[in-house]
Amino acid sequence: MELVCPAGNLPSLKAAVDNGADAVYFGFRDDTNARHFAGLNFSPEKMAEGVQYAHDRDARAFLALNTFPQPEGWGRWQDAVDRAAEMGFDALIAADIGVLDYACNRWPDLNLHLSVQGSATNYEAIRFFHENFGINRVVVPRVLSLPQVKHVVENSPVSIEVFGFGSLCVMVEGRCLLSSYATGESPNTFGACSPASAVEWRETDKGLETRLGGILIETVEKGENAGYPTICKARFEVGGNTFHAIEEPTSLNTMEMLPELQKAGIAAVKIEGRQRSPVYVKQVTRVWRAALDACAKDPEHFKPKTEWLAELAKVSEGSQTTFGAYHRPWQ
């Protein structure tokens, strides 16, 4: 299985490549990718440097171009496709039908991967993207159980990449508008969930209050961990109870499932976290490299080492991890 790691900047890219990533994915410094945060991502110059760095060390470079252009901004996405092809990226990770259509017509030799934002949860959808745009890999949304993932692999005409570790989207990706409902900007339209400009922190007697688009979505008492505020990980009142009505602040970690994923024929494991630091990328890449190698060597006896899990727990959101939808009872 290929290890695909995130890079929000050049130091992270180098950390990924140096610590054993088979491929690294990154984006331009604008709304053409789904981690559009201030200070993150690559200028065209840095990007060329990044591609070169990866290629010199036998790692592949993927461009994340996975948001949905509207007519007014179409030119930015078209330019990004052209630049990616000219820079020698090994694949373009895209979600929008228009972008895929442009890319496969203008650059027929460019590898196309369907982003998780493309919401392809079933093999009929995958066949559509394969037959119409020639995609050769799909990143499947974090909504399928393990048997369902296996079923997709068995029936898919292209290779399958799954999320292995990182922040957990509870909603099917590419179809979640919760952020824009509160702030006007969503991953689809703007490339960010909970854009920083809409987040407001306020210290009060009750604790640290967090507002998103002016709506109070969380109050964190002293001593509690305050993660980055997203609607799906906040506490709300439903039916007279206040609780994490959608999901708790938690990270996805599928390391224990590696032998099963390998047996199922999964082509690649993706690490989430382009918004995280180079230290995160370094630690997570190193641990996952070791785990993938151990699993490839002896899947029968594979068990995540305690020190690996401890290392990952340190960088997990909310310091707890879950199998997410892979494990049926979570649903």
Binding status of residue 99 toward another protein by CB under 8 A: yes
Q: b/e per residue, 41-59, with b = 16+ CB within 10 A? A: bbeeebbeebbebbeeeeb
Q: Which residues contact 7 (CB under 8 A, 6 or more apart)?
A: 13, 15, 16, 24, 25, 26, 50, 274, 281
109 CB-contact burial (10 Å; exposed 0-12 / middle 13-18 / buried 19+): exposed
Which of residues 15, 17, 21, 95 is near another protein by CB under 8 A?
95
Measure the CA–CA gap between 210 and 65, rounded to whole angstroms.
30
Please identify, using beta-carbon distances, which residue of 67 and 275 lies nearer to another protein.
Answer: 67
Which of residues 246, 267, 294, 309 is near another protein by CB under 8 A?
246
Binding status of residue 92 toward another protein by CB under 8 A: no
Please identify, using beta-carbon distances, which residue of 22 and 218 lies nearer to another protein.
Answer: 218
Which of residues 22, 247, 260, 272 is near another protein by CB under 8 A?
247
Tokens, residue 58: 């036998």
Pick from 147, 140, 134, 165: nearest CA to 251: 165
Q: Which stretch binds another protein (CB under 8 A): 41-49, 172-180, 269-277, 288-296?
A: 172-180
CB 294, min distance to another protein, A: 29
Binding status of residue 242 toward another protein by CB under 8 A: yes
Which of residues 127, 267, 277, 294 is near another protein by CB under 8 A?
127
Binding status of residue 128 toward another protein by CB under 8 A: yes
Q: 211-220: which pairs have CB atoms within 8 A and are 24 or more residues apart?
A: 212/182, 212/183, 213/182, 213/183, 213/184, 215/182, 217/182
Which of residues 50, 166, 213, 229 is near another protein by CB under 8 A?
213
302 touches 256 (CB < 8 A): no
Which of residues 98, 134, 278, 299 is near another protein by CB under 8 A?
98
Binding status of residue 144 toward another protein by CB under 8 A: yes
Site string for another protein, 41-70 (x = CB under 8 A): ---------------------------xxx
Binding status of residue 217 toward another protein by CB under 8 A: yes
Residues 69-88 that bind another protein (CB under 8 A): 69-72, 74
Please identify, using beta-carbon distances, which residue of 58 and 124 lies nearer to another protein.
Answer: 124
How many Cα atoms occupy the beta-carbon half-sphere of 19 within 13 Å? 25
Residues 145-164 that bind another protein (CB under 8 A): 145, 148, 151
Measure the CA–CA gap between 248 and 259, rounded to whole angstroms.
27
Measure the CA–CA gap between 326 and 312, rounded to whole angstroms.
19
CB 270, min distance to another protein, A: 18
Binding status of residue 307 toward another protein by CB under 8 A: no
Which residue in this structure is represented by tokens 């688009």?
Answer: 213
CB 207, min distance to another protein, A: 11
214 CB-contact burial (10 Å; exposed 0-12 / middle 13-18 / buried 19+): exposed
For the chain, the farthest-separated pair of C-alpha atoms sits apart, in whole angstroms, at: 60
Binding status of residue 172 toward another protein by CB under 8 A: yes
CB 202, min distance to another protein, A: 11
- List contacts with another protein (CB under 8 A): 68-72, 74, 95-99, 101-102, 118-125, 127-129, 131-132, 142-145, 148, 151, 170-172, 174-178, 180-184, 186, 188-189, 213-219, 235-239, 241-242, 245-247, 325, 328-331
